[in-house]
Amino acid sequence: MSGEPLVARCPAKINLALRVLRRLDDGYHELDTVFQAIDLHDRLELRPGGDLLLECDAPGVPTDGENLVLRAARLLAEHAGLVDPPGAALRLVKQIPAQGGLGGGSSDAAAALRLFALHWDLRLDEAELHSLARRLGADVPFFLVGGTARGSGRGDRIEALPHFGERSLVLGLPPFGVPTGELFSRLADRLTLPGIGVSLPLFSGLKWPPENDFGFMVNDLEAVVFDDWPELGRFRDALLEAGAAKALLSGSGSTVYGIFDSEDRAREASNRLSPSFASWSVVTANTIEQGAEVLTPDR
Ligand code: C5P
């Protein structure tokens, strides 16, 4: 009934840049974005045997069929033509907040694809996994790659980039999330805002990795988000005052992050900002080169 668990690490991401190029007919938006994996992780364990069940330590995270982890398992079983596949007990340990623009659910889903492919002994190539990932959500394919990568289309067409480099970050996680879908629809109501329809694709003439030139780091969603959640704009300003070389909204928020010259500077800034943003979680983090990966693939 029970065997050794398979364990996967599911990193968060930030967007180093995010341009909204246009609205597509299906309501999605064409993006040009640069993802960066960071060392804030969820952990997903799969213990073979029994019925397919998910438990999670974070209140408010659904553990029914709605959870992306179980949707990933179902999609994979369907794709592989498995009618009654062997079950498993799944345990999800959350560190990445929901609706934070950090891709937590998407990273968990990418990890689930890798874990179940092992559990069911499926030999899938990366292209097949990517096409399944894309069906689970626009951010999921990035986590199959990790590190630094450019996303085009809906953000789901991934091209790995040379690593952005080891960077020290401060993340500000407010006590509320920003619902991505709703945010994008608000963007559609404000077609006059700079950003949509006028943004140029990233990277024209840009040298990569850009060393200490952070001019490419723009996020077109900031205009709408900072308007509607001014506290996030205030945190961005506070990061800059605390010495960040650059500060930006991640994805559609609610996380705002800053890049610092060293871990010491990042720690100092986080200590300095914490008291003024008492209901927030202000933490340090680092960029990493990995994506969602299985840690114990003994077969
Ligand atoms: O793909 P995912 O489920 O993560 O996207 C959440 C929502 O964000 C979508 O339902 C859509 O409203 C919006 N979105 C968008 N354009 C994208 C990605 C997401 O409009 N490229």
* pLDDT of 231 over the 90 cut: yes
Alpha carbons 268 and 272: distance in angstroms, whole number:
6
The residue whose C-alpha atom lies closest to atom 8 belonging to ligand 1 is 181
Alpha carbons 151 and 36: distance in angstroms, whole number:
11
Strand partners, 30: 22
Q: Which atom of ligand 1 is least distant from the CA of 138?
A: 1
pLDDT band at 77 (very low <50, low <70, confident <90, very high): very high
Q: 84-133 pLDDT, tens per residue?
A: 999 999 999 999 999 999 999 999 999 999 999 999 999 999 999 999 99
CATH number of the domain residue 137 falls in: 3.30.230.10
Those residues whose C-beta lies under 8 Å from the C-beta of residue 266, and which sit 6 or more positions away, are 168, 169, 170, 258, 260, 284
Q: Calculate how far, in angstroms, residue 29's C-alpha sits from the geometric centre of ligand 1.
A: 7
In testing the pocket of ligand 1, which one of 15, 25, 28, 106 has its CB within 8 Å of the most ligand atoms? 28
Q: Calculate how far, in angstroms, residue 193's C-alpha sits from the geometric centre of ligand 1.
A: 19
Q: Is the CB–ligand 1 distance for residue 31 below 6 Å?
A: yes
In testing the pocket of ligand 1, which one of 157, 184, 190, 220 has its CB within 8 Å of the most ligand atoms? 184
Q: Is the CB–ligand 1 distance for residue 181 below 6 Å?
A: yes
CB of 15 closer than 8 Å to CB of 251: yes
Q: Is the CB–ligand 1 distance for residue 152 below 6 Å?
A: no
Helix axes 68-80, 126-136, angle to 10 degrees: 130
Q: Choosing from 42, 108, 139, 156, which is the catalytic residue? A: 139
* Predicted local distance difference test score (pLDDT) of residue 296: 73
Q: Which atom of ligand 1 is least distant from the CA of 29?
A: 16
Q: Is the CB–ligand 1 distance for residue 216 below 6 Å?
A: no
Of the chain, the percentage scoring pLDDT greater than 90 comes to 84
* Predicted local distance difference test score (pLDDT) of residue 23: 87
Q: Calculate how far, in angstroms, residue 297's C-alpha sits from the geometric centre of ligand 1.
A: 32
Task: Indicate the number of domains in the chain.
Answer: 1
Domain hosting residue 141, numbered range: 1-299
* pLDDT of 27 over the 90 cut: no
Q: 151-173 pLDDT, tens per residue?
A: 999 999 999 999 999 999 999 99
Q: Calculate how far, in angstroms, residue 261's C-alpha sits from the geometric centre of ligand 1.
A: 33
Q: In the annotation, is 125 catalytic? A: no
Q: Calculate how far, in angstroms, residue 278's C-alpha sits from the geometric centre of ligand 1.
A: 31
